[in-house]
Amino acid sequence: MSEELILDVRSKMANTIEYFREDISGMRTNRAHSGLVSGLMVDYHGTQMKLSELGQISVSDGSMILIQLWDKSAVTSIAKDIESSDLGINPSIEGDTIRLVVPPLNEERRLELVKSLKKKSEDTKISIRNVRRSGMDEIKLLEKSSEISQDDSRRFQSEIQKSTDDNIDLISNISQEKENELMEV
């Protein structure tokens, strides 16, 4: 029972880390990459869908993203959604392809992105700590109801704390790498 609890806590922490990675992959750097727009939610005939589900996204050089949509009739409406997003990129339409030229970031925008990254990083750390707290509470309940011994309780709590510390360090490392990427000129 408690081994399953430890695995569940680790799984929830891993999912939180994965969500954090996906969330910051869309943060803009000076290089064009498909992650910048793949998770962008756009209106497709009244339904909100990820852009990656509606077409092929590729990078043609270091500064241009090409979006080849499968439904040619949706090109203009999706281009408008991209334009109104917070990416700060104006799309150009060439036939059935949307082209996005990624301009270099200015210093002020870089600092805004770093600030946003730090907030997301701290929110993710809080989520990890919440998972830890709920796991610790469950272990204490098992100990209180005599389902596990005091020694096992301490051992499981120690394992949960170690997983928490490792994941907090991982978040810090991921965040620092992304910050370095954002500040790169």
Q: Bridge partners of 43?
A: 48
Measured CA to CA, the distance from residue 76 to residue 183 in angstroms comes to 33
Q: What does the block give as tokens for 157? A: 């709590």
Measured CA to CA, the distance from residue 183 to residue 185 in angstroms comes to 6
**Average pLDDT, stretch 28-42?**
73
Checking if the pLDDT of 121 tops 80, the result is yes
pLDDT tens string 122-162 = 999 999 999 999 999 999 999 999 898 999 999 999 999 99
Percent of the chain with pLDDT over 70: 96
Q: What DSSP letter does each residue of 48-60 carry, written as one string?
A: EEEGGGTEEEEEE
Checking if the pLDDT of 66 tops 90, the result is no
Q: Which residue segments constitute the domains of the chain, with CATH numbers given?
A: 2-25+106-183 (1.10.132.20), 35-101 (3.30.1360.40)
**pLDDT at position 158:** 95
**pLDDT at position 166:** 96
**pLDDT at position 7:** 92
Mean pLDDT of the chain: 86
**pLDDT at position 88:** 73
pTM for this prediction: 0.70
Alpha helices in the chain (DSSP H): 2-25, 35-38, 75-84, 107-144, 150-183
Distances (CA, A) of 47 to 41, 81, 89: 10, 13, 23
